[in-house]
Structure 1
Amino acid sequence: MRDMHKNADVIKSAKKKRRMSPDALWAFILLIPLFVGIGLVYYSALFGFTMSFTSWDIVRKAEWIGISNYRTLIEDDLVWKAMSNTLIFLVITIPAKIILGFLLAVLLNQKLRGIQFFRLTYFFPTACSVVAIALVWGYMYGADGFLNQMLQGLGLSKVYWMDENHAMSSIAIMTLWVGMGYIALLFLAGLQNVPTDYYEASRVDGASKFQQMWKITIPLVTPTTFFILVTQIITAFQMFGEVYLLSGPANSTLTIVQYIFKEAFQGFRMGYASALSYILIVVILIVTVVQLKVQKRWVHYDL
């Protein structure tokens, strides 16, 4: 009998252990929205991939057409135009952002009175709305806007900033102004994490400021540079708001994401837009993987 009671007690204690504690239950309940959100993301990705093999205009039932959308986009001149504009924008802005952002970070890293005010001032455009920034710069780029008034005041002729020849460069200048403060903030964090021992040892060896910058500072901020490079390339591929609000004539500023938007929500070619989206995903994935492979050659975490 005693053995039977012992076995019953063991079974009861095992059942109690298998029961979820109140803390674990609340943790599970609070994680439900996260699980639902992740599930919706994966469902949307799968749904979009399936739609890329169909012809669907939202109203009528989707028609399976196989890889026709992918064949069409290879022959679509606007796809290549949008991709070339995106790459041009990427080549113009990213090197300029990294170089100017680093130099600005070096200036903002000085121990001066009121330096926090300047750090906030340069970061402020990043926190502003894209719509507000585009409206202000659109006025500045106008035929009688601030920039042309300034040029005429210097005795120079007007520049049509948003014509077919200058529109992409004008938008690149605007995005450079907007994003440089954010880049500088990241570099500033990287500069402040560089150990001061290296600088003290280099001063003992008689190194100049330039040698300290070239041999110590720049190599030790390469992890920050790598992070900025990866994220900014992805951001450049996804650029939409700036070119949507300040678009140039004759598709001169058409980017791949803007073209996807036009096909999906203006042309209602959802299947074709889905195919374009997945081509963009593949391009971003390839570029990111290549960067991850190459970064071992130039990113230094220690001297």
Structure 2
Amino acid sequence: MNRRPPTVPKPARNARLTARGPGALSAVLGKQPIGTAFVTPYVVFLAAIFAYPLGFAVYMSFHDYFFTAPGATVDRPFVGFANYVTVLTDPAVQRSFVNVGIFLLINVPLTVVLSLGLANALNAAIRWRTFFRVSYYVPYVAASVAVVGVWLFLFNSNGLVNSVLGPLAPDPSWLVNSKLAMPTVALYVTWKQLGFFILLYLAALQNVSKDLYEAAAVDGAGRLNSFLNVTVPGVRPATTLVVLVATVTGANLFTEPYLLTGGGGPDGASASPVLIMYQRGIEQGKPDVGSAIGVLLVIGVLLLAVVERRFVGKEEQ
């Protein structure tokens, strides 16, 4: 009679494997070396494109830094917080932060409401659904210069919008009005980026169970109640993402005021911190001051993102 070889119990076998300890490869790459290998190129990319420039910007902001000829060796003394004092006492910088605050107050809520409402409509079985989805996404992928040309045609002094409004048109016109320039830029950015956020919500709506809508209908809920009590809570993680992405992209506003208002006009009413950073650092040759603006902007966006994450995403935790 053949006897089967005795088997080692699983606990004893696991203890023996644990006693051997991790190999050299696992010690370096972790428990999932293949996953680490796939992630490593992106980590290197982030370090080269984001981490190193940010660290170098922090270094410049604490020194008397200026551009020199290639290969030249000059002394760049440490100046402490002098550049930050210069930035915080600069009226143009102060106004740019107020401007971007106005922009975010208009752009972020409008982006969330419009993108969620349109995504919910496009998720239903309507005619020409694919056409409408593509139509909303085209401005997002179109070249900014071309789209700005269309917007200037609509909102300049003799544009189509003023022609339609007639005597109700603002004077001065939209983009040269100190009170309306930044709101107009905010509307433009909302319209241009709407397609991207609609796609995010469309993807999130696929994960909302249809059984919830059927249960709400059985309870007598109409379309509005179903939207408020089923759709809105169901896409809350996507809303958190939309708010964070819209905040980060809005805080880095540059192209739109640069092209639409001729570099932040009128009189700095539409200037953003990134635009002022470009003007100070590149045009005026003060990269140390520009770096200080950038560091303050990064700190401000991080704090704002933490606050938004706590309030917008608290119910999903």
* Category of TM-score, reference length = shorter chain: 0.7 to 0.9
Q: Distance in 2 between matches of 1:64 and 1:48?
A: 14
Distance of aligned partners of 1:143 and 1:236 in 2 relative to their CA distance in 1, 3 Å threshold: same
Map 1:70-149 → 2, pairs under 5 A: 70-149=84-163
SS in 2 for 1:89: helix
Q: Describe the shift of the 1:34–1:295 C-alpha distance in structure 2 as closer, same or farther (beyond 3 A).
A: closer
1:53 paired residue among 57, 62, 76: 62
Alignment pair present for 1:286 and 2:300: no
* Deviation readout 1:186-232 (Å, 9 max, x if unpaired): 22222222001111222223322222222111111111111100111
SS in 2 for 1:239: coil
> What is the CA-CA distance between 1:34 and the residue it aligns to?
6.3
1:49–1:274: 8 Å Cα contact kept in structure 2? yes
Matched, 1:227 2:241: yes
Asked if 2 retains the 8 angstrom alpha-carbon contact of 1:191 and 1:221, the reply is yes
Kept in 2, the 8 Å contact 1:55–1:270? The answer is no
Whole-angstrom distance in 1 between the partners of 2:101 and 2:44: 36
CA change 1:182–1:76 in 2 (3 A) is same
- For 2:75 and 2:241, the matched residues in 1 are separated by 43
Determine which of 67, 72, 80 is the counterpart of 2:81: 67
Is 1:236 the counterpart of 2:236? The answer is: no
Closer/same/farther in 2, CA of residues 250 and 127 from structure 1, 3 Å limit: same
- The verdict on how the C-alpha distance between 1:143 and 1:54 changes in structure 2, with shifts beyond 3 A counting, is same
Size of the aligned set, in residue pairs, is 277
Whether 1:259 and 2:276 are equivalent positions in the alignment is yes
Does 1:176 find its partner at 2:190?
A: yes
* Per-residue Cα deviation, 1:1-38 (whole angstroms, up to 9, x for no partner): xxxxxxxxxxxxxxxx999xxxx9xx97x967963762
Shift in alpha-carbon separation, 1:31–1:197, aligned structure 2, 3 A: closer
Mean alpha-carbon deviation: is it higher for 31-40 or for 57-66? 31-40
Q: Distance in 1 between matches of 2:195 and 2:41?
A: 37
Counterparts of 1:297 and 1:37, CA distance in 2 = 28
Measured at CA, do residues 143 and 188 of structure 1 come closer, stay the same or move farther in structure 2, by a change above 3 Å? same
Structure 1 pair 273–209 and aligned structure 2 pair: CA distance change class (3 A): same
CA contact (8 A) 2:240 2:313 kept: no
Measured against aligned partners, the alpha-carbon deviations of 1:78-125 in whole angstroms (never above 9, x if no partner) come to 121000000000001111111111111121112123211111011111
Q: 1:57 to 1:32 in 2, by over 3 A?
A: same
Q: Which runs of 5+ in 2 are unaligned?
A: 1-22, 26-32, 69-73
CA RMSD of aligned residues (A): 2.7
| Residue matched to 1:11 | none
State the alpha-carbon separation in 2 of the partners of residues 283 and 158 from structure 1: 33
With 67-76 and 156-165 compared, the bigger mean Cα shift is at 156-165
1:125–1:157 Cα change, 3 Å? closer
Aligned counterpart in structure 1 of residue 47 of structure 2, from 22, 31, 38: 38
Structure 1 pair 292–47 and aligned structure 2 pair: CA distance change class (3 A): same
SS at match of 1:54: coil
Deviation at 1:296, TM superposition (A): 4.8
| Residues 292 and 177 of structure 1: CA distance in aligned 2, closer, same or farther (over 3 Å) | closer
Q: Which runs of no fewer than 5 residues in structure 1 stay unpaired?
A: 1-16
Shift of 1:292: 2.8
TM-score after normalising by structure 1: 0.82
Q: Distance in 1 between matches of 2:24 and 2:184?
A: 64
Match of 1:162 in 2: 175
Q: Distance in 2 between matches of 1:256 and 1:193?
A: 38
Aligned-pair distance for 1:254? 0.8
State the identity as a percent: 28
Q: Structure 1 pair 191/144, CA: closer, same or farther in 2 (3 Å)?
A: same
